[in-house]
Structure 1
């Protein structure tokens, strides 16, 4: 059979396997979370108090912490990533584009624990010296998480920009555009798909990370009121409870955390897809 006939079948098979795997994971979470979503446990779950010794398993502070941390990291990383891509594709000198892209690609090979370790020994003392508190805070985790997701955003946008640049190069030359004009007037407006994909994957990477908030955010199950306050995300909350307990009702509530985390990522992706079609 010709290769051209095999490739679509393989891609379809891979797509089906991926979709079924995601559905299986979601079904697994729903099955084990079902007892938690019934009776008095649900009212305890949807509260702001996490006191397992007193029968209070409120996960709303962790949900708020996840959204705050992921949102702040995206607010830092997304504009920076977009600016870097525009710089590399026309706004900056040509000689700087390749080394800058090489640095960004090199950042993807750095393990997450290294980001956390370096921040714990360099960033945390700076925050502690400049402000009050221990330094383990929303601010420390947000800055580090922004650096962690930056390569994901940059590489997705770079791939999209390269595709659009190749398609519009002759048009830009015919119109007499400079490289800066081409990226601002042609490449960027035509890269809506890549912009939304970068936002979706960047947010998914941010809200799904466990190690950075676990190492740097302070892990207090409280609603943060300022960037200097500690917080706990759903992912780090799951890791902390699993590490210390596997039998109580607190452990059962973790499956509800997984369902909520799954739904948040799904809703963000659906919202971005809707924006794409409007």
Structure 2
């Protein structure tokens, strides 16, 4: 008797293929990263990136990625929450329709378009405004990363808020609640998992982007306390070294950077999935 090919079997097969590929990817990175990490002469987890002197520390790039992702997420999140909340007001629905269309359009814009616009418009503006540095800085890339992650955060929040608004608008109105009260006391408190998921998704998108940091951050491997200074992120660092090196200690240090990035990405994805499943459990999610 032949086994029938069902959608469940196909999906299970695809899931198994993805798990195998992810396991192979982790194994590949670990295999090549371990000799570098355990070699005391390389010192990958140090603060110095000076390849000509034998220093291959990636911590300045870890700092750059972390600061960029955190600052961009902190700036974008209040705007995303405000836009998603505004779109729930009944009297502003004609405007909300166009806001949602604009957000979807922004989500589809290629990253390179943001980068080119920033190089010719934002960077000269920052250079002339602050009179400090070349304009290629943490501030420049952070502002563009905010534009990059804002649409996905808004769409995730708006999807949850819309669902709750449709369920609870009549009940809220019958209790005499205004739209503002409904959003503040009903919608937002019952969307905490979705709010956390949106914040994590924005952070993951920010820390994983390559092109904008490569074009706008200045790519200086340093730890700085000023947003007007240049920084280098892990993603941009991998792109720069891959373009110039092969089979060297500098090249081998990239496997540690790649393993770190992949681990962060997988952990955030799993956490988002857990929060999303909690949200799907009902209004109290």
- TM-score normalized with structure 1 length: 0.90
- Tell me, in whole angstroms, the C-alpha distance in 1 between the residues paired with 2:10 and 2:78: 37
Q: What per-residue deviation string (whole Å, max 9, x for no partner) do you get for residues 1-26 of structure 1?
A: xxxx9555555444444343333322
What is aligned with 1:200?
A: 200
1:261 aligns with 2:258: no
* Alignment RMSD (CA, Å): 2.3
Distance 1:83 1:91 in 2: 15
In 1, Cα distance between the equivalents of 2:237 and 2:250? 11
Separation in structure 1 between the aligned mates of residue 170 and residue 224 of structure 2, nearest angstrom: 52
Which position in structure 2 is the counterpart of 1:151?
151
1:237-269 Cα deviation digits (max 9, x unpaired): 000000001121110000000111123334555
**Counterpart position of 1:89:** 88
Correspondence for 1:102: 101
Once residues 10 and 82 of structure 1 are traced to their aligned partners in structure 2, the CA distance between those partners, rounded to angstroms, is 38
Structure 2 stretches lacking a partner, 5+ long: 280-284
Q: Which residue matches 1:80?
A: 79
1:90-111 CA distance string (max 9 Å, x none): 2872221111111111101211
Whole-Å separation in 2 of the counterparts to 1:238 and 1:64: 15
Distance 1:222 1:200 in 2: 26
Alignment of 1:161-240 (within 5 A): 161-240=161-240
CA distance in 2, matches of 1:55, 1:92: 64
Q: 1:92 to 1:6 in 2, by over 3 A?
A: farther
**Deviates further, 159-168 or 133-142:** 159-168
Describe how 1:241-260 pairs up with structure 2 within 5 A.
241-260=241-260
Counterpart in the other structure of 1:137 = 137
Q: Indicate how the Cα distance of structure 1 residues 18 and 185 shifts in structure 2: closer, same or farther if over 3 A, else same.
A: farther
The alpha-carbon deviation at position 187 of structure 1 amounts to: 1.2
Partner of 1:230, secondary structure, is coil
Contact persistence 1:49–1:56 (CA under 8 A):
yes
**Shift, 1:200, TM fit:** 1.7
Instruction: Work out whether residues 217 and 231 of structure 1, in 8 Å CA contact, stay in contact via their aligned partners in 2.
Output: yes
CA distance in 2, matches of 1:48, 1:91: 53
Change (3 A) 1:62 1:245: same
What number of residue pairs does the alignment pair up?
Answer: 272
Q: Distance in 1 between matches of 2:18 and 2:160?
A: 24
1:128 alignment counterpart: 127
- Partner in structure 2 of residue 67 of structure 1: 66
Q: Does 1:48 align with 2:47?
A: yes
Contact 1:91/1:180, CA 8 A, preserved across alignment: no
Distance 1:182 1:11 in 2: 40
Distance 2:240 2:140 in 1: 19
TM-score, L = length of structure 2: 0.88
User: Please, which moves more after superposition, 18-27 or 53-62?
Assistant: 18-27
Alpha-carbon distance change, 158 to 30 in structure 1, aligned in 2, over 3 angstroms: same
1:51 Cα offset (Å): 1.1
